[in-house]
Amino acid sequence: AQSVTQLGSHVSVSEGALVLLRCNYSSSVPPYLFWYVQYPNQGLQLLLKYTSAATLVKGINDFEAEFKKSETSFHLTKPSAHMSDAAEYFCALRGIQGAQKLVFGQGTRLTINP
């Protein structure tokens, strides 16, 4: 079975500080991993994706994530938080055999303090 665990349902950082959102996964097949962001009253927007081409993945708005197979992790980082980063972030997994089905983590709500 495949699963995604996001550590910390709420994360709060100061504007300009490092953002670190944690994601661990479990998969019996090499996974494809994604980070999505959701702003209030909106759908999900893709931040970045891992598809085995490179372990360090860069996404939009200076977000990046590193795939670590030995730790089964795919943590999301951003060097300097901006007020506009306040949103809910979801890590998702898709196995090769999983077609278009994504398994999502529970989400992490990011708050930015001025």
SS3 assignment, position 76: strand
CA dihedral 25, 74, 71, 69 (to 10 degrees): 90
Position 28 contacts other proteins (CB under 8 A): no
Residues near other proteins (CB under 8 A), total = 25
> In which residue are the tokens 């300009």 written?
16
Position 21 contacts other proteins (CB under 8 A): no
Residues 35-54 that bind other proteins (CB under 8 A): 36, 41-46, 49, 51
Backbone phi, psi, residue 14, to 5°: -85, 155
The Cα 60–Cα 77 span in angstroms is: 12
Residues 55-94 that bind other proteins (CB under 8 A): 90, 92, 94
Residues 89-108 that bind other proteins (CB under 8 A): 90, 92, 94, 96, 98-107
User: Closest Cα partner for 84 from 10, 16, 9?
Assistant: 16
- Min separation Cβ 10 and other proteins, Å: 13
User: Where do contacts with other proteins occur on this chain (CB under 8 A)?
Assistant: 32, 34, 36, 41-46, 49, 51, 90, 92, 94, 96, 98-107
